[in-house]
Structure 1
Amino acid sequence: MNSETIPSIMGALQAGQFALAEKLGRDAVQLNPREENVLILLALSLQYQGRPGEALAVYADLVRYYPLSSLHWNNYATQLAEVGRRDEAFVAYQKAVELDPNNAVPKAQLGLMLVERHQYPAAREILLDAYALDRESPWIRIRAARACCGCQDFDGAGDLLKPWRSWIPLQDDALQMDLAQVLTLRNDLLDAAALLEDLLTRQPMAPEVRLLLASLYERLNRLDDAEAAVRPVLDLANRTGGELLIEAEYILATLAQRRGDHASARQLLEKCGPNGPEDDQHYFQLAASCDKLGDVDAAMRALKEAHSVNTRIRQHESPEHYAPGAKALPSDAPSVTAEQYAQWPQHIAPDAHDSPLFVVGFPRSGTTLLEQMLDAHSALQSMDENPFFSRLSLILRQHDQRILDDLSVLRQYDCDELRKRYNTMVMERINRRWDAQLVDKNPLNMQWLPMIHRLFPEAKLILAVRHPCDVVLSCYMQNFRASVLAAACSTLDRLAHAYVEAMTTWLEQVEVLRPNVMVSRYEDLVTDFPRQVERLASFIGLEDASPMLAFDQHARNKSFIGTPSYSQVIEPVNRKGMGRWQKYRQYLEPVLPTLEPMLRHWGYSVDE
């Protein structure tokens, strides 16, 4: 081989003369079958010609001739994945990482394959390793953020994606699609939609883009836009069939549900069936339409299948929640005894008006309805649910686990700093209006009452209460995002125990801490709305309650509501959710003894 061979092949590749590059490469390989650089260029020429199988054979020669090269094992793995031999690709990526642990590229590729396999903790670990090796790569940051989302580490994903706007334009449509998907997982729907709309300007008929955008439009209550986005995909899918048709019809079914046409929604869902063995959402959606149509048995069959599929998926994400003996609703929140509370030093703290107003309660008890009512008042400002106190506790735990065992050790300075951290996290989520009191609505903040009371002892809390049977049924019908809630809702029995455990802990801590709490009963709220609004305003200290009466109009004007009840709180208050459980009584009878203490405590009857 003469000295001009490699430059000649490279020149042919750069000029797009791939057949010529192949010929030159094959001629050179005839003279020296093990010439490393020629084999690489030959493989590239075959790839560019759309001949992946032949390119794979060349990469196989490279790993055989140069078995200690991480680069060749990485290229070989990538080509194996290209031809569908993904298990072999996984092993080859592992070999590439083993040969060069300081190379970020094979680590990132291996992490992606772990994400595909739903092995999220392992994927997160290796992708964060890749990020540590190359902190400037948007490609690695986006993939690592995806793995973090799979582990429910949405904060970690947010940190990785903080500079994403500076990456635009990405000059890589596939990567932009991935970014939009990760932003969707983080509930950053407006940003995700903007990225997808930009993609459509270059790929107006891209089905994957249109389907995700349509689903986002539905979440943003832009139903007509959602249908307009999905219709071209449906036209294409009717000709080609396959997964596209299932996904398009699924979105149409969702839109039919939003418009109250549950017969059409059920027909579409039953026609298309689940989109693969991991499509738990199909069964949740089917159950919702069967419920609205009054077919209780069909709804429960669909929910049983939904939770079975959901459990198979979530066990990969958070196996600890599904381990034998796992608590129904585990929490790492601290608790306080009366003896410990007596030892708490008195610190200077914000008064009630300068403290957040906390809305808590077991999920599906009406917390979102309360939040939207409060947010409709100009003197109040709410935000989407955020686990701020869990994050603060993590800071303390990393410093010294014993702090959470005895919050009395927190000094004035410590409490001041934690409140600063809290406010910083709030300002990262919303454009804070300092003339308005903050409303922090997170149902399971009820588990964090001791931490809330330590930092904001004068804060007012609103506890949403609803008939426990209606709560349990409604939770069972939800596909919760958080693995801890998904696991708690996996069976009616576990869900009933989770409800009682959470409420019992709340009541015990209220007895110790004596915070300023107003109990808002859902049934009272929907049957005597004006009076309950006045009661709420009086508790908070608002003179004019009238803005809260038109909360539904205010909610409709919002771009996004990030809770499972987003489609319900834009409606005027109604009694649809009252006594719903009675239709399902035969299925709930076995858990009534478990719920009985809370039924008795809150004054509910099983005859209601």
Structure 2
Amino acid sequence: MTANALAQIAASIQAGQPLQAEQLCRSWLSTQPKDENLLLMLAISLHMQQRRPEAREIYAELTRLCPRSSVHWGNYGTILMELGALDEAEAAYARACQLDPGNASPKIHQGLLLIRRHDYLAAREVLLDAYRLDREFPLARIHAARACCLCQDFEGAEELLAPWPKWLPLADASLQLELAQALSLVGDVPATVALLEDLLARQPGYLDAGLQLAVAYERSNRLADAESIVAPIARATSGVTEPQRGKARHVLATLALRRNDPAEARRLLEQCGPNDDEDYAHYFELAAACDKLGEAEAAMQALREAHRRHAAELRLAFPAYFAPDAPALPTDAPRVAAEQYRRWPRLAAPEALDSPVFVVGFPRSGTTLLEQMLDAHPRLQSMDENPFFNRLAGILRRHDPRILDDLSVLRQYDCDELRKRYHAMAGERVVRRQDTQLVDKNPLNMQWLPLIHRLFPEARFILALRHPCDVILSCYMQNFRSSMLSAACASLERLAHAYVEAMTQWLEDVDVFKPTVLVSRYESLVDDVSGQAARIARFLQLDEVAPMLAFDRHARGKAFIATPSYSQVIEPVNRKGLGRWQRYRHEFEPLLPILEPMLRHWGYTADMPG
């Protein structure tokens, strides 16, 4: 066989003519049945024709003929994975990695297989190994970032994706789609939109990219743009796969909910059903539609199914959350007793006006509404929700895990450096304006009061408060990105315990540190927006109140709001969320004894409408 013959076969493959390539290969193999190059090209041509079982036999033969070829073992692993033989595929990839440990490619495939098996922690380690072998390889970075997100390591994912503008243009359209999806996972929806718009400008018929863009448009409150993409896909009778049509209908259902048409949303969702066995998001959407229709039992049935499916996935990635002795709301935040606090040395620290304003509270208590009101004021500047104190704690833990057990060891230099790191992280999230005070809204920063107080002892806090039953119902209906919160929502009973645990910890910490706190009740805020806004302004020593009252117009001017309430805070304040739990009262009766200490402490009763 001549080099020209091999070149002719390769040209047929590159031109997308696998049948012609197959015929040429078989012609030459009749005289050279063991030729490695011919067998490889035959396997590739069969693979391209979706004739996977036949391709599998050829790839297997190549591993027998060339047992020390990492390439052949990697190809064999890929065809096995596509055929669903995951155990055999994993063994093939492991052999490929063993034969060529410096090659990132088989490690990437091995990592993707582990993701498919929901072994996210192992996948993250394998894919990070692949990244370390070739730090300039976008494919390794993108897949490693995806694995980091699945392990809730969003900071690691952001670092991996940071150079993405330098990778453009990506010749591989599917890789650019993967990059867009990874950026969406870390919450960079504007970048996701830009990447997908660019991809569709070059490949207008790329339906999967269009569907992803529609999701990003909805998330950016560009509802008409989202509908213009998915409506034709949902109506198409040809050229669209059933999974693509189903995804389009899911987006249309979300848009129907945004238009306050829950009947249409429910019709669409019941028509298409979940995308797959792991699609718990479908049931959260269905529950929202049923809730808006006033069908409480149907909503609760959908929610139970949503949490059942979500918890099954979480148990694979985070089994510790479901251990018998696990707290309802896990946290690694430090605890400080009063006697420990008395040993803290007095250190120089910023005054109140030079410290951030911290907006805290149990999730779904109205923190996003408060944040948007504050951000609308010209003297204040907020940023989207970020776990800065979790990250600062991680820095301390890596330096010496004992520090978090005794924060008194932090000296002036340490606190100064941690504050610098905090402001650097904030600066990465928002372009700071001069003469503004930072607003840090993260509901569960309430768990980090000891560390916040060590760095910003004069800071003011606004605690968002809402009827505990309304909070718990709203959380239970929410598809949280955080695995910790999702685990806490596995059942209404666990969620009630999580609320009491978090609030008890806050009250105990407040008793120790005596921070400056304003309690903002959601019920009072929606009843008297202007009066409550004036109260908040006085607390923060602000002269003007009017800008805070126009928060909804201010929010609509934002490109993106990275919280679950993104669709609500662009609307004026309304009373729709008050007392919603009463429609589900039979579900809450068993929870009232659990919640009784907090109901009593905050002056709520089981008979209050909200």
Q: Which moved more, 1:497-506 or 1:116-125?
A: 116-125
Q: How far apart are 1:454 and its partner, in Å?
A: 0.2
Over 3 Å counting, the alpha-carbon distance change for 1:224 and 1:27 in structure 2 is closer
Q: Which moved more, 1:39-48 or 1:17-26?
A: 17-26
Give 1:554's aligned residue: 554
Q: Distance in 2 between matches of 1:607 and 1:457?
A: 39
Over 3 Å counting, the alpha-carbon distance change for 1:12 and 1:594 in structure 2 is closer
The letter for the 2-side match of 1:519 is V
Q: How far apart are 1:58 and its partner, in Å?
A: 2.6
Over 3 Å counting, the alpha-carbon distance change for 1:344 and 1:174 in structure 2 is same
Q: Distance in 1 between matches of 2:76 and 2:145?
A: 26
1:13 to 10, 20, 36: 10
SS in structure 2 of the partner of residue 118 of structure 1: coil
Over 3 Å counting, the alpha-carbon distance change for 1:302 and 1:415 in structure 2 is same
Give 2:291's aligned residue: 291
Could you state the TM-score of these two structures normalised by the residue count of structure 2? 0.95
Q: Distance in 1 between matches of 2:537 and 2:389?
A: 26
**Could you say what the CA RMSD is over the residues aligned between the two structures, in angstroms?**
1.9
Where do residues 529-540 of structure 1 align in structure 2 (5 Å cutoff)? 529-540=529-540
SS in structure 1 of the partner of residue 358 of structure 2: strand
Give 2:394's aligned residue: 394
Q: How far apart are 1:408 and its partner, in Å?
A: 0.6
Q: Distance in 2 between matches of 1:471 and 1:111?
A: 39
The letter for the 1-side match of 2:6 is I
Give 1:221's aligned residue: 221
Q: Which moved more, 1:19-28 or 1:529-538?
A: 19-28
Residue pair 1:357, 1:438 contacting (<8 A) in 2 also: yes
SS in structure 2 of the partner of residue 205 of structure 1: coil
Q: How far apart are 1:20 and its partner, in Å?
A: 7.2
Give 1:454's aligned residue: 454
Residue by residue over 1:21-67, the C-alpha shift from the partner in whole angstroms, topping out at 9 and shown as x without a partner, is 65665465455544434433444455566655544333221101122
Q: Distance in 2 between matches of 1:555 and 1:537?
A: 19
Q: Which moved more, 1:453-462 or 1:101-110?
A: 101-110
Q: How far apart are 1:89 and its partner, in Å?
A: 2.7
Residue by residue over 1:259-305, the C-alpha shift from the partner in whole angstroms, topping out at 9 and shown as x without a partner, is 11111111221222222111111111111111111111111111111
Give 1:384's aligned residue: 384
Give 1:112's aligned residue: 112
Residue pair 1:10, 1:21 contacting (<8 A) in 2 also: no
The letter for the 2-side match of 1:294 is G
Q: Which moved more, 1:12-21 or 1:391-400?
A: 12-21
Residue pair 2:81, 2:113 contacting (<8 A) in 1 also: no
The letter for the 2-side match of 1:13 is A
Q: Distance in 1 between matches of 2:181 and 2:117?
A: 17
Give 1:170's aligned residue: 170
Where do residues 311-390 of structure 1 align in structure 2 (5 Å cutoff)? 311-390=311-390
Q: Distance in 1 between matches of 2:27 and 2:370?
A: 76
Over 3 Å counting, the alpha-carbon distance change for 1:378 and 1:30 in structure 2 is same
Residue pair 2:273, 2:282 contacting (<8 A) in 1 also: yes
Residue by residue over 1:442-462, the C-alpha shift from the partner in whole angstroms, topping out at 9 and shown as x without a partner, is 000000000000001111111
Q: Distance in 2 between matches of 1:324 and 1:238?
A: 51
Give 2:571's aligned residue: 571
Residue pair 2:233, 2:240 contacting (<8 A) in 1 also: no
Q: Distance in 2 between matches of 1:112 and 1:49?
A: 23
Residue by residue over 1:420-453, the C-alpha shift from the partner in whole angstroms, topping out at 9 and shown as x without a partner, is 1111111111112232111000000000000000
Where do residues 26-175 of structure 1 align in structure 2 (5 Å cutoff)? 26=26, 29-44=29-44, 46-47=46-47, 52-82=52-82, 85-175=85-175
Where do residues 365-514 of structure 1 align in structure 2 (5 Å cutoff)? 365-514=365-514
The letter for the 2-side match of 1:537 is A
Give 1:207's aligned residue: 207
SS in structure 1 of the partner of residue 346 of structure 2: coil
SS in structure 2 of the partner of residue 353 of structure 1: helix
Q: Distance in 1 between matches of 2:140 and 2:56?
A: 25
Give 2:515's aligned residue: 515
Any unmatched runs of 5+ in structure 2? none
Q: Distance in 2 between matches of 1:23 and 1:602?
A: 79
The letter for the 1-side match of 2:173 is D
The letter for the 2-side match of 1:350 is P
The letter for the 2-side match of 1:304 is R
Q: Distance in 2 between matches of 1:437 and 1:156?
A: 28
Q: Distance in 2 between matches of 1:237 and 1:230?
A: 14
SS in structure 2 of the partner of residue 520 of structure 1: strand
Q: How far apart are 1:402 and its partner, in Å?
A: 1.0
Any unmatched runs of 5+ in structure 1? none
Q: Distance in 1 between matches of 2:397 and 2:217?
A: 40
Q: Which moved more, 1:102-111 or 1:173-182?
A: 102-111
SS in structure 2 of the partner of residue 463 of structure 1: strand
Q: Distance in 1 between matches of 2:273 and 2:205?
A: 25
Give 2:185's aligned residue: 185
SS in structure 1 of the partner of residue 352 of structure 2: coil
The letter for the 2-side match of 1:9 is L
SS in structure 1 of the partner of residue 267 of structure 2: helix
